[in-house]
Structure 1
Amino acid sequence: MNELLVLGLSHKTAPVAVRERLSVTQTQLERMLADLHASPDVNEAAILSTCNRTEVYLVVGDPVEAEGELLRSIAKSSRIRPTELANLVYAPRNCDAARHLYRVTSGLDSMVLGEYEVQGQVKRAYETALHRGTTGPMLNRLFKAALRTGKRVRTETTLSERRTSVASVAVDLAAERVGHLEDRKVMIIGAGETAELTAQAFAAQGVRTLFVSNRHADRARALAERFGGRVGALTDLAEQLEEADVVISSTGSPHPVLEAEELATVMAARPDRPLVLIDIAVPRDIDPECGRLPGVTLYDIDDLQAVVAQNLADRGSEAQIAEEIVEQEIHAFARWMGQMEITPTIVDLRTRATDIVEAVLAENEGRWESASAADVARMERAARTVVQRLLHEPTVRLKQARDRDDAHGQVEVLRELFALDEPDHASAPADAPRTQIPCPHAMAPADPVPDNLRALAVRRAAGS
């Protein structure tokens, strides 16, 4: 049976010094997807990589083996000992894995509770895997449902209101450290989505910013025009730093864009003027040694945790509503998986019974010397009839369970009791998507699966 597995780490389990070693570029991510999907043990794969998390979503036949193999592979590529890495990663399965992605997409697992950028990041991760052909029926269903859950949380709660991004929290931190920002000279290094969010937060406080970027100069100019700022180049970074009071950096560079030696020269040219640096990039843009220089205060993304604490306290009730929405959606996912299992389970159960009958008849062939051919035929028919009648009620009850919330539980128990997942007993095609989903009781009912999706799931499960 196939199972859903997530292997990942985030700001909750690993410091930025570790997360940046696992951060991947888009090209690296696509190569990893191809390598994962090429593995005979992996049926589907997707990767979510952001500044605060790196997570691999897999559909596999043996989650224990897959988890160990992936852990070894990540440890090797990041040059982290497997034993050290094992203490930092989480590996939920099945409904717990689905719940994790739903919470991530809803902003419930973010550093800033209710962060809305993460939904776009999940969507891009799914689109990348879809484009590379590494998803299948399970991950397609999972990611679409997660995105729907995130949308419900945004529209049905107020979690996404006010300061709901790492960038906005960084601006709050800057204001806390230097006072009113209107009279300060502020620099943003980078021109991506995070830089835009940072500029929005600064503009809300009446700040005109300097955008510094070489790689996306056109976008930097567009941001400058939109927010009334100016544009500079990384080649002139030292000169521009001499004027800055606050710098927030968020590029996608794999290497630091500001080294301690360069900054030391800058600070020597501006004595008695402190400088606040806030590095929210992963991998980090600013050499950590910069924070040791006189007059320099450096914060990285992990230092924002203290600022976030109040955010958590203010949004507790809304978070509870969001958690209930997540449980409603998990309820629907579990029911869908249970429906996916019913037809192949019925096929396996009846095939198992037929195999037993045939084996018993074969074992006793030749022991009925005094019986006529008609007698033997009657005994064979009787044996098959007993099996059919014995399995009639379980078959009916399984079919009736299609629209019930505990379908997955009934399937799991039946497959366990009759050992239907042992190689000699399972008869459905090897590529039939069977998934064991041990889910806790859902908190509220969810909409039923549309008939056309149910029919498609049943056909795929039956191998037709």
Structure 2
Amino acid sequence: MSLVVLGLSHHGAPLGLLESVALDGPAATDLETAVLRSEHVTEAVVLSTCNRTEVYAESLTFHGALVDITNALAQACSVDRAELQPHLYVHYEDRGIAHAFTVAAGLDSMAVGEAQILGQVRRSLSRAQKHGHVGPALNGLLQQGLRVAKRVHSETEIDLVSGSLVQAGITRAEAVLGGLGARSVLVVGAGGMGALAATTVSRHGAREVVVVNRNPDRAVGVAERVGGRARPLAELTEALADADLVIASTGARGQVVTAEHVAAALATRGGRPQVYVDLALPHDVELDVDALEGATRVGLAELGEDLAEAGSAPQVAVARELVTAEVAAYLLQRSAQAVAPTVTALRARAGEVVDAELTRLERRTPGLDDHERAEVRRAVERVVDKLLHTPTVRVKELARDGQGGSYARALSDLFDLDPRDVSLVSAPPAIPGEDA
């Protein structure tokens, strides 16, 4: 079986298309279910963030899986396959593993090095585990990807250059409004990005932080952590009128802040300007807001341009080197694991032959005492060990060079190993819980 990664991201897809394929948790689960209906796929995990949607799949055949995953994605997002196809990228096996580790470490993000992707990968994996969509292959891959990402953030200086989308939005807002010390900030949405926005503007010294969310308890929780206050969603128009800076990230389908809302807010502000930073995909703030006098809308497209140069920082190069080393180590470990069942089955077969021959010898030589029988057994076992030593060492050496699979198959043929014996010793372990 082989890893296939199919998706599209901010690197090559227009923002409008990314909005069309953005999936919330239930929709991502439905897509996994659809992908797993394919006879070519055995495991599936969907990762959908503000700048990418990807399907990770363990496949039996590459081309069959690719066709079925593409069709399932197009259908799930109600996007014509012909529109989707030119913007899709595909990574297979080694490149797929490298991509998974790079994504988890934040090195493929719009805000290079951002840490929010860690939580998004973890939640996607946990959700797939909950629904039985992930098995030992993808579980092992993504768990290791999370460990690699943690190493990147703890052992390199990537955090020095990982300017978040929130920070980039604040920088844009301050260019219009000046510092936030005398400004009121409204955060629309109380998820991970909303909580980060509230925390960041608070650290920037915002005079007031107000949080609005569909779930009032979550709004209160976020607001209390930063010394702000919560308002119900029903008071959104009034809250907009009081805010100098609005940061929106709800994950809702459709616009939460319309041009009509903003026009009503501006009418009460006596000409004081407003900035709307839209971090959502699909976008929360209607695009027409930017045409209103006194309002400035900043979206992901503008923020992506501001963050584009971060990828060339020396800290990023160090982080990429760490990821490359981890990919090589993972491939080596996987190669060794691939040949281990054959080696184990071979030694088990040799042990059976030794036991059978010694049992036959005991029947033919009843006069041997226990000491003599033990010496005979040790001699036979030493002969077997010497005969198996070279092929065992050689298959492990070849595994390190990526050639162990063909040699293991040759051993199976030469020694007539039953495939069922090999499969028994290669049975997948139970899937562990989510890696904290």
- TM score, norm. by length of structure 2: 0.80
SS at match of 2:73: helix
Shift of the 28–81 alpha-carbon distance from structure 1 to 2, 3 Å rule, reads closer
Q: Note the C-alpha offset of 1:306.
A: 2.6
Question: What pairs with 1:116-131 in structure 2 (closer than 5 Å)?
Answer: 116-131=115-130
Q: What's the RMSD between the two structures over aligned residues?
A: 3.2
Q: Note the C-alpha offset of 1:118.
A: 0.7
> 2:194 is aligned with what amino acid?
A
Question: What pairs with 1:28-67 in structure 2 (closer than 5 Å)?
Answer: 28-67=27-66
1:366-388: per-residue Cα shift (whole Å, max 9, x none)? Answer: xxxxxxxxxxxxxxxxxxxxxxx
Asked if 1:342 is matched to 2:317, the reply is no
Shift of the 402–298 alpha-carbon distance from structure 1 to 2, 3 Å rule, reads farther
1:145–1:329 CA contact under 8 A, matched in 2? no
What residue number does 1:308 align with?
A: 307
What residue number does 2:230 align with?
A: 231
Asked if 1:213 is matched to 2:180, the reply is no
1:270-319: per-residue Cα shift (whole Å, max 9, x none)? Answer: 35222211100111111112222222211111210232135334xx2221
Greater shift, 279-288 or 79-88, is seen at: 79-88
SS at match of 1:242: helix
SS at match of 1:258: coil
- TM score, norm. by length of structure 1: 0.75
Q: Determine the C-alpha separation between the residues in 1 that align with 2:324 and 2:390.
A: 26
Q: Note the C-alpha offset of 1:39.
A: 3.0
Q: Note the C-alpha offset of 1:56.
A: 0.7
Q: Note the C-alpha offset of 1:46.
A: 1.0
What residue number does 1:400 align with?
A: 393
1:174-203: per-residue Cα shift (whole Å, max 9, x none)? Answer: 223321111122111111111111112111
Q: Determine the C-alpha separation between the residues in 1 that align with 2:31 and 2:320.
A: 32
Asked if 1:326 is matched to 2:326, the reply is no
What residue number does 1:352 align with?
A: none
Q: Note the C-alpha offset of 1:105.
A: 0.9
Q: Note the C-alpha offset of 1:336.
A: 2.6
Greater shift, 38-47 or 205-214, is seen at: 205-214
Asked if 1:274 is matched to 2:273, the reply is yes
What residue number does 1:92 align with?
A: 91
Question: What pairs with 1:165-244 in structure 2 (closer than 5 Å)?
Answer: 165-244=164-243
Q: Higher relative contact order by CA 8 Å / sep ≥ 6: 1 or 2?
A: 1
Q: Note the C-alpha offset of 1:398.
A: 6.0
2:38–2:65 CA contact under 8 A, matched in 1? no
Shift of the 101–206 alpha-carbon distance from structure 1 to 2, 3 Å rule, reads same
1:331–1:405 CA contact under 8 A, matched in 2? no
1:3–1:59 CA contact under 8 A, matched in 2? yes
State the aligned residue count. Answer: 387
Q: 2:403 is matched with which residue: 384, 401, 410?
A: 410
Q: Note the C-alpha offset of 1:345.
A: 7.2
Greater shift, 56-65 or 323-332, is seen at: 323-332
Shift of the 341–202 alpha-carbon distance from structure 1 to 2, 3 Å rule, reads same
Identity %: 32
Q: Note the C-alpha offset of 1:416.
A: 11
Question: What pairs with 1:239-254 in structure 2 (closer than 5 Å)?
Answer: 239-254=238-253
Shift of the 269–59 alpha-carbon distance from structure 1 to 2, 3 Å rule, reads same
> 1:147 is aligned with what amino acid?
L
* Structure 1 unmatched runs, 5+: 350-394, 421-425, 433-455
* Structure 2 unmatched runs, 5+: 347-387, 429-436
Shift of the 163–92 alpha-carbon distance from structure 1 to 2, 3 Å rule, reads closer
1:207-262: per-residue Cα shift (whole Å, max 9, x none)? Answer: 14433324221222222222122222221222222222211101121121112233
Q: Note the C-alpha offset of 1:404.
A: 4.1
Q: Determine the C-alpha separation between the residues in 2 that align with 1:82 and 1:59.
A: 22
